[in-house]
Structure 1
Amino acid sequence: MPPGSGPRWRRYGTDAVLLDCASLAEAVAARATVAAAGRDDVVELVPGARSLLIQVRGGERALTEIRELVESADLAHPPATEAREVVLDVRYDGADLDEVARTAGLDVAEVVALHTGAEYTVAFTGFAPGFGYLTGLPEPLRQPRLATPRTRVPAGSVGVAGEFTGVYPRSSPGGWRLLGRTDAVLFDPRAERPALLAPGDRVRFRSVE
Structure 2
Amino acid sequence: MKKMTYALILPLVVVSGLVFANHETINDPSKKSTSKPLSASERKTARKKWEATPDGIKYMEWKASPEGKKVFAGAAKIRKHIRDYSDMEAIITSLSLPPGSRLGFGMMVKINDEDYILSFGLENSDKNYLNFNFNNEFEELRNLKVNDKIIIRSHNVSHSPKYAYPIISGDYVELDSKIIYKRAPRKGGC
TM over 0.5: no
Higher strand share: 1
TM-score between both structures, scaled by the size of structure 2: 0.23
Structure number with larger C-alpha Rg: 2
TM-score between both structures, scaled by the size of structure 1: 0.22
